[in-house]
Amino acid sequence: MEKTFQPQQIEEYWYRSWEERGYFSPRGEGTPYCIAIPPPNVTGRLHMGHGFQHAIMDALIRLHRMQGHQTLWQVGTDHAGIATQMVVERQLTAADTNRHELGREAFVDKVWDWKDESGGIITQQLRRMGSSLDWSRERFTMDEQLSNVVEKVFIDLYEEGLIYRGNRLVNWDPQLHTAISDLEVVSEEEDGYLWHFNYPIADSDEHLTIATTRPETMLGDAAVAVHPEDERYAHLVGKFVELPLCNRRIPIISDDYVDPEFGTGCVKITPAHDFNDYEMGKRHNLEVINILTDGASINEEAPEAFRGLDRFEARARIIEAIESLGLLEKIEPHKLKVPRGDRSGVVIEPYLTHQWYVAIQSLADPAIKAVENGDIEFVPKNWENTFFAWMRDIQDWCISRQLWWGHRIPAWYDYKGNVYVGSSESAVRQKHQLSDKIELHQDEDVLDTWFSSALWTFSTLGWPDDLEYFNKFHPTNVLVTGFDIIFFWVARMIMMTLKFTGEIPFKKVYITGLVRDEHGQKMSKSKGNILDPIDLIDGIELDALVKKRTSDMMQPQLKQKIAELTRASYPAGIAAYGTDALRFTFYSLASTGRDIKFDVGRTEGFRNFCNKIWNAARYAMMNSEGDSLSPEWNPAEFSSADRWILSRLEQTIGEVLAALEDYRFDLASQSLYEFIWNEYCDWYLELSKPILWDKDNNPQAARATLSVLLTVLERSLRLLHPFMPFLTEEIWQKLAPLIGIKGDSIMLQPYPERDPTNFDEVAQAEISWLKGIILAIRNIRGEMDISPAKSIRAFLRGSNEQDKTCLRLNRVYLQKLAKLESIEWLNPDQVPPTCATGLHNNVEVLVPLAGLIDISAETARLEKEIGKLETGLKSISGKLGNENFVSKAPDAVVTKERAKQGEMQAALTSLRSKLDELNNVSA
RNA sequence: AGGCGCGUAGCUCAGUUGGUUAGAGCGCUACCUUGACAUGGUAGAGGUCACCAGUUCGAAUCUGGUCGUGCCUACCA
């Protein structure tokens, strides 16, 4: 074995081997267990959020597989309509053309080409994470079968009247020329202005002043509104204003919606370009005047002077024009929330269009109920509130997108605009008995990608035609995803799945935190703080990292700053930590919080942990000298150390299983880390040395210890395998044969189960005594600055027979681990030479001072110890001195405190007398 | 404006139903290349658990409030 763990030498090999041998497919007859992957964008790249969630899913999957379930991790990708189309459009722009020049069919072919070209990347990256996905069942949202489900669902909902076509305001992305849903709009506060315009009152010399943040929309104004109780304007209600620049008269109306405190208390109403105004327009029967084109420039409805101008150019011209008319009252700086498309980043316009909607209410009710009655549980539970809040105020879902990449809406129109919905043009003709002479054309739009994602759990399992897998694995057991898509995806999946299959899609929803950078900032391309999971696995040079973070930027002016920050955060680039270390980092961070600050320091720590395990295995196997041990063992031969480590392993198994039950991967990983490093490596390995090195004199004990050494390691590897698949497999392959365990892979071995017979309180007490004595001696050595190379003498003194026995049984260990020349028992009345003193419970640990230490150092040390004890004692005595505590606290607690007080008092007395002795010596 | 989180060691975080002298990792200090491992070992320093009240024999933990901070939802043109 190599002296250090080299992850890159083994990961690829083992993954390929598992995949080729079909280990990722369900096997056996156990209870089915299934997770459906949240489908990543087929042309996307793996990011930290994926890495994190896949680490978690894989741990769950590997755990259940080892526990004997028929386990399926259903894999697939989605077509990511807008994102993918944008990428290809950008390529066309670079080639100096565009999709319209190309035509729809050729464009869609191009997207398929792009999918074929780049579509393998993310699935390869998933493999690098060690994810044991069943690749033989890989699906894509645009596969024929899945597309058929999409179509069926659309048609069924339409025929039931739950999908309808509506003409209303939507969020319009003028760059992408498509509607997007509320959820795809992000509003951030930005600096803007509030322009105050004077609108002249018709047939009067008066004017009123409106305030607006979007002056260009005045071209579509249909009214001016004031609050009904606003006395300043009461006399104007019912009159008209002359809308400047437009030569139109519009009414002055009153409506509760108006806030008299804001601006001037007069608000211009533009029903075609503002959601609130639209509602008010409906209340007051106002004209809806659309003044924008698809691309958000001014259209034919507007006065000629502004036609064809981009909206922002038009804004500037209108302000100029108003000013030249003397109607510009003032301009105030103003902070406002600007809605932008989450993909394109451009300002979204409320825009009046025909779109397809899902009438959501009747679907929402059962979904709410499923969570209320506990059929579906969120983990952590408080996310249910977020879910409820949104579901109880849910809006109809706009599902049409004016894109070319996606599932085309199965609707046809005749020349009169009648709509026919069906699976194909001929099906529609047949159903509605339309003659071939009537020309039909299909709806140009495609469906929101989330529409197909909402069907994911059942469409990937073969529903509705091939029900074998569906019947076995649906509902899936758990969905692992981020809170950012509870509305986008989780809620919609619940609604659609209940509607069509009558089943919930999953029993649990485990909501993970969001991975942020080491300062708590969201990772984003524009901030330049992205970490690529693959770079953490393989490592990356600083220059390459800087280049990666600064290339292809939307805002090139940030380049230098990002480069500096990157150089400051990663002066040496990123080392190659390997997949197991990265995965373990994710587990350790997976607590209940919703922000996960990713700290590379932790990954480094876990890389070291991997190396620790590697070397422990190296030690264990070196000592076995290639002999294979019989699997039968004789517990009668076990030392207390042997029984102790088995007992601790038993506890660890219990902790890990309990933590996993609660999805507390952080606790599970911590138990494993502590056990393996702080118990097995730090103590058991050291305790095994004197036994193994004394093989010739005591072969039975050596054989027993060796078998425990190997067995505990083997069980630990199995316990650890769901978290660190590669390292554990590599070691297990070498280790298992040594103790007669046969099997092709650790991933098909049974997961350790609880076995209370391994729990051994006596052994734990004895080893805890041993540790305490060793720690006391080491403490003296450390504080007294005694070279670790120097063997020293030590004495133990006390009156307890049990302590005496412990010394007798553990003398060898003490001598080895504390590097002692000798250790002898003194009876309480025996007077040792001048010593440095430590205490473990009631045992005095004495190290003769002669020639080793200066007395003042020991005095200082004792005083420090005494100080600590005094502080502790004061607080305990305070408690016990309190009548109320003694009378009201449970007896067990009081007894415990009393015992503690006694011990501390004794210790204090003993140390004080030591201090006195020293003072006498030095005097 | 509402809702939900969070505030524990220099940093990143645990702390299960209130009962410890408040823990871990990284970092820090000192010493050590001893035959698994310097990606290591041994010892050590470091915290008024944001603040203020309250409940209780007892509060990091429960309640109320304050401050700070983050996110989500709805928004004032």
Question: Residues in chain A, how many?
Answer: 923
Question: Taken in order A21, A26, A31, A33, is the CA torsion positive or negative?
Answer: positive
Is residue A766 within 8 A of residue A821, CB to CB? The reply is no
- Strand B bases near protein CB (under 7 Å) are 3-6, 11-15, 19, 21, 24-27, 30-45, 56-58, 70-77
A503 touches strand B (CB under 7 A): no
Is residue A341 within a helix (H) or strand (E), and if so which, with residue range?
A: strand A328-341
Asked whether strand B has any atom less than 7 Å from the CB of A685, the reply is yes
- A27-43 pLDDT per residue, tens: 999 999 999 999 999 98
For A355-395, write each residue's pLDDT tens digit: 999 999 999 999 999 999 999 999 888 888 889 888 888 88
User: CA-to-CA distance for A592 and A483, rounded, in angstroms?
Assistant: 12
A778 touches strand B (CB under 7 A): yes
- Report the distance from CA of residue A683 to the C1' of nucleotide B37 in Å, as an integer: 14
Nucleotide nearest to A623 (CA to C1'): B36
Instruction: State how far the Cα of A309 lies from the Cα of A314, in Å rounded to an integer.
Output: 6
Max alpha carbon distance in chain A (Å)? 122
DSSP H or E run through A826: strand A820-826
Whether the CB of A522 is less than 7 Å away from nucleic strand B comes out as yes
Q: Which nucleotide's C1' sits nearest to the alpha carbon of A864?
A: B44
Distance (Å) from CA A819 to C1' B34? Answer: 10
Residues with pLDDT less than 70, chain A: 554, 626-632, 851-853, 922-923
The amino acid occupying position A41 is N
Contact flag, residue A782 CB and nucleic strand B, below 7 A: yes
CB of A578 lies under 7 Å from some atom of strand B = no
- How far is residue A777's CA from residue A831's CA, in Å, rounded to a whole number? 19
Is the C-beta of residue A787 closer than 7 Å to nucleic acid chain B?
yes
Strands, E, within A414-518: which ranges?
419-421, 441-442, 446-447, 476-482, 506-512, 514-516
Query: For tokens 């071939």, what's the residue?
Result: A436
Q: Which two three-digit tokens encode residue A101? A: 């020049």
CA of A789 to C1' of B33 (A): 12
* Measured distance CA(A385)–CA(A389) in Å, rounded: 6
A893 touches strand B (CB under 7 A): yes
Residues 833-872 of A with CB under 7 A from strand B: 864, 868-869, 871-872
Four-CA torsion A738, A740, A743, A748, nearest 10 degrees: -90
Angle at A838 between CA A832 and CA A844, to 5 degrees: 55
How many Cβ atoms sit within 10 Å of the Cβ of residue A522? 11
Chain-centroid distance, C-alpha A381: 16
Sheet holding A441-442, edge to edge: A419-421, A411-413, A441-442
Nucleic strand B near CB of residue A9 (< 7 Å)? no
In this structure, is the CB of residue A213 within 7 Å of any atom belonging to strand B?
A: yes
Q: How far is CA A576 from the centre of its chain?
A: 22
**Closest nt to A612 (CA→C1')?**
B37
Residue A421 pairs in a beta bridge with: A411
Q: Exposure of A52 by Cβ count < 10 A (0-12 exposed, 13-18 middle, 19+ buried)? A: buried
**For residue A631, what pLDDT is reported?**
57
Residue A193 Cβ under 7 A from any strand B atom? no
Q: Is the C-beta of residue A214 closer than 7 Å to nucleic acid chain B?
A: yes
Burial of A920 (0-12, 13-18, 19+ CB in 10 A): exposed
Vertex A847, ends A845 and A851: CA angle to 5°? 170
A890 touches strand B (CB under 7 A): yes
Which residues contact residue A32 at a Cβ distance below 8 angstroms, ignoring those fewer than 6 apart?
Answer: A26, A69, A70, A71, A72, A472, A473
Q: What is the pLDDT of residue A144?
A: 95
A34 CB contact with strand B at below 7 Å: no
**How high is the pLDDT of residue A420?**
95
Walk across the sheet containing A32-36 and list its strands. Answer: A32-36, A70-77, A134-140
> Is the CB of residue A189 less than 8 Å from the CB of residue A335?
yes
Q: Do the beta carbons of residue A780 and residue A773 sit within 8 Å?
A: no
Per-residue model confidence (pLDDT) at position A429: 92
Q: Between the CA of A804 and the C1' of B36, what is the distance in angstroms?
A: 33
What does the pLDDT read at residue A748? 96
- Report the distance from CA of residue A893 to the C1' of nucleotide B62 in Å, as an integer: 20
Nucleic acid strand B within 7 Å of A901 CB: no
Residues 6 or more apart whose Cβ sits within 8 Å of residue A221:
A243, A246, A250, A268, A269, A270, A289
Report pLDDT for A629.
66
Structure tokens at A247: 């030569």
What is the nearest nucleotide to A689, using C1' and CA?
A: B35
Q: What is the pLDDT of residue A549?
A: 87
CA distance A577 to A566: 19
Q: Is A117 exposed, middle or buried (0-12, 13-18, 19+ CB in 10 A)?
A: exposed
pTM, full prediction: 0.92
The pLDDT, as a whole number, for residue A922 is 67
**Gap from A62 CA to B76 C1', Å:** 53
